[in-house]
């Protein structure tokens, strides 16, 4: 009888150990050390474009920072964040930081089979702190001659909304700008806000496929803005819808510069 009880206990113990090992293996996600993304691929992407061709007023910086923190907080585990800064030359649009995936803060890790504290430290040092630093530096800008917003969005779409993988996952594009396109090829100041003017001058050159991405325009209004804000907003809503964005496209006015 004793032998049978001991044998049963041993079987239960071995079974528990096997379960712990299998669960630990199932919870382990191999990641790229530079991006923190799963080697199997990120599961969503959040793409942020901040227009730095004009400086934001301090109150605008505060508002944008708080809203962007909300965006970052909403990124799920294994989701990619790409933060781009728009300059006067679209070719110089640059990342505010290397692309990073949210590795998770350890809140979903079982302390029996994993180390949630270690995961939280990694999340804080390798992800959260780097993102916060990039956001703070990203809202600074300076007055420049041109604002190639469409070219920058076109480039982001080409890089992040083209591959089969990227088109199969949820994608969110946030554009923070006064939304006034101004280049030699097409300018809201010079050519106006009509869809006809855009079609005649730049539609073919700036054709963009947003591939069903969720699109948000955060429109910063300038005190001395020389274009009608309502017409400008309607122009971008129509442009995004015609560029295959997920509907409805969101346009949110922000405090002025």
DSSP-derived 3-state class of residue 30: coil
pLDDT tens per residue across span 90-132: 656 789 999 999 999 998 888 876 788 999 999 999 999 999 9
Do residues 20 and 66 share a domain? no
pLDDT tens per residue across span 209-225: 999 999 999 999 877 67
Domain count of the fold of the chain: 2
Do residues 21 and 96 share a domain? no
The CATH number assigned to the domain holding 100 equals 3.40.50.410
Distance between CA atoms of residues 252 and 249, nearest Å: 10
Report whether 219 contacts 178 (CB < 8 A).
Answer: yes
What's this model's pTM, rounded to 2 decimal places?
0.86
Do residues 21 and 82 share a domain? no
Residue 79 forms beta bridges with which residues? 44
**Least confident among 5-14, 61-70, 71-80:** 5-14
Distance between CA atoms of residues 253 and 243, nearest Å: 21
- Its domain, for residue 93, covers 44-254
């Amino acid at each position: 009888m004793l032998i049978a009880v001991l044998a049963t206990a041993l079987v239960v113990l071995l079974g528990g150990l096997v379960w712990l090992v299998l669960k630990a293996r199932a919870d382990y996600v191999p990641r790229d050390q530079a991006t923190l993304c799963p080697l199997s691929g990120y599961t969503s992407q959040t793409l942020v474009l901040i227009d730095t061709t004009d400086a934001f007023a301090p109150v605008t910086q505060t508002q944008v920072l708080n809203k962007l923190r909300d965006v970052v907080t909403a990124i799920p585990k294994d989701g990619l964040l790409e933060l781009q800064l728009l300059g006067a030359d679209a070719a110089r649009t640059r990342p505010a930081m290397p692309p990073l995936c949210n590795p998770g803060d350890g809140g979903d890790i079982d302390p029996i089979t994993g180390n949630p504290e270690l995961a939280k430290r990694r999340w804080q040092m390798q992800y959260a702190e780097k993102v916060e630093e990039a956001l703070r530096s990203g809202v600074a800008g300076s007055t420049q001659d041109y604002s190639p917003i469409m070219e920058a969005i076109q480039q982001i779409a080409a890089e992040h909304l083209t591959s089969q993988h990227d088109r199969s996952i949820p994608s969110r594009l946030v554009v923070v700008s006064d939304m006034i396109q101004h280049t030699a090829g097409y300018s809201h100041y010079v050519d106006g806000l009509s869809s006809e003017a855009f079609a005649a001058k730049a539609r073919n050159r700036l054709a963009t496929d947003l591939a069903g991405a969720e699109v948000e325009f955060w429109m910063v209004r300038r005190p001395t803005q020389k274009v009608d804000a309502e017409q400008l907003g309607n122009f971008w809503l129509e442009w995004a819808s015609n560029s295959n964005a997920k509907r409805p496209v969101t346009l949110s006015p922000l405090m002025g510069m």
